Amino acid sequence: MHDVRVPVLIVGGGPVGLSTALFSQRHGVGTMLVEKRDGTSTLPRAPGLQARTLEMFRSAGLGPDIRALEIGDSHPDFEGGIIQAETFAQVAEAVTVERPSLDGPSISPERVMGCGQDRYERVLAEKAGALGADIRFGTKLVELRQDPDGVTAVAEEQHSGRRITVRADYVVAADGTNSTVRALLGVPRHGRGTVFDALSIYFHSNDLEMLLKDHRFILFYASASGTLTGLSRLHGCSPWLAAPLYHPDQGEKPEDFTDERCAQIIRTAAGRADLDVEIVAKIPWEGAQLVAERFRVDRVFLAGDAAHVHPPAGGFGANTGIHDAHNLSWKLAAVLQGRGGAALLDTYHEERHAVGSAMAAQALVRNRIRHGYATDEDKRSMVDDIIVTLGYRYSSSSVSAPADRPVLTPELRLEGEPGTRAPHVWLERDGERISTIDLFWDDHVLLTDSSPAARHWAQAARSVADELGLSLRTHVLGPDGELVPQDRDWAQAFGVHEGGAVLVRPDAMVAWRSPHPAGDLAQALARIRTSLARAAGHAPAPAGR
Catalytic residues: 221
Q: Prior bond to 239 cis, omega within 30? A: yes
Nearest Cα to Cα of residue 536 among 467, 490, 448: 467
DSSP string, 323-366: HHHHHHHHHHHHHHTTSS-THHHHHHHHHHHHHHHHHHHHHHHH
| Close Cβ partners of 526 (under 8 Å, ≥ 6 residues apart) | none
Q: Which residues pair with 146 in a beta bridge?
A: 151
If one asks whether residue 57 binds ligand FAD (CB under 6 A), the answer comes out as no
> Rule CB under 6 A: which of 278-297 touch ligand FAD?
285
Question: Which DSSP state fits 421?
Answer: B
CB 141 → ligand FAD: shortest distance, Å? Answer: 4
> Rule CB under 6 A: which of 369-428 touch ligand FAD?
none
CB 120 → ligand FAD: shortest distance, Å? Answer: 11
3-state secondary structure 271-292: CCCCCCCEEEEEEEEEEEEEEE
Binding range to ligand FAD, per CB under 6 A, among 174-182, 327-335, 341-349, 388-396: 174-182
If one asks whether residue 33 binds ligand FAD (CB under 6 A), the answer comes out as no
| CA gap 186, 306 in Å, rounded | 12
If one asks whether residue 23 binds ligand FAD (CB under 6 A), the answer comes out as no
CB 386 → ligand FAD: shortest distance, Å? Answer: 15
Binding range to ligand FAD, per CB under 6 A, among 175-183, 201-209, 428-436, 528-536: 175-183
| CA gap 415, 492 in Å, rounded | 8
| CA gap 531, 322 in Å, rounded | 27
Please state whether beta strands 300-302 and 308-309 pair in parallel, antiparallel, or not at all (unpaired).
unpaired
If one asks whether residue 47 binds ligand FAD (CB under 6 A), the answer comes out as yes
CB 12 → ligand FAD: shortest distance, Å? Answer: 3
Amino acid identity, position 289: Q
Among 7, 100, 116, 176, binds ligand FAD (CB under 6 A): 176
Among 32, 34, 302, 533, binds ligand FAD (CB under 6 A): 34
The size of the interface with ligand FAD (CB under 6 A), counted in residues, is 33
If one asks whether residue 36 binds ligand FAD (CB under 6 A), the answer comes out as yes
| Site track for ligand FAD across 192-231, x = CB under 6 A | --------x-------------------------------
| CA gap 61, 423 in Å, rounded | 20
Nearest Cα to Cα of residue 193 among 288, 94, 52: 288
If one asks whether residue 243 binds ligand FAD (CB under 6 A), the answer comes out as yes
Among 6, 9, 10, 11, binds ligand FAD (CB under 6 A): 11
Binding range to ligand FAD, per CB under 6 A, among 173-181, 341-349, 424-432, 442-450: 173-181
**CB-neighbour burial class of residue 25 (10 A; exposed 0-12, middle 13-18, buried 19+):** buried
Nearest Cα to Cα of residue 37 among 141, 186, 143: 141
If one asks whether residue 100 binds ligand FAD (CB under 6 A), the answer comes out as no
Residue with Cβ nearer ligand FAD (140 or 192)? 140
CB 209 → ligand FAD: shortest distance, Å? Answer: 20
Nearest Cα to Cα of residue 51 among 103, 15, 16, 121: 103
Binding range to ligand FAD, per CB under 6 A, among 269-277, 315-323, 338-346, 410-418: 315-323
Nearest Cα to Cα of residue 218 among 367, 82, 44: 82
Residue with Cβ nearer ligand FAD (198 or 509)? 198
Q: Prior bond to 100 cis, omega within 30? A: no
Sign of CA dihedral 84, 87, 88, 89: negative
Residue with Cβ nearer ligand FAD (63 or 284)? 284
CB 95 → ligand FAD: shortest distance, Å? Answer: 21
Tell me if residue 492 falls in helix, strand or coil.
helix
| Site track for ligand FAD across 133-152, x = CB under 6 A | -------xx-----------
Q: Which residues bind ligand FAD (CB under 6 A)?
A: 11-17, 34-37, 45-48, 140-141, 174-176, 180, 200, 243, 285, 304-305, 312, 315-319, 321
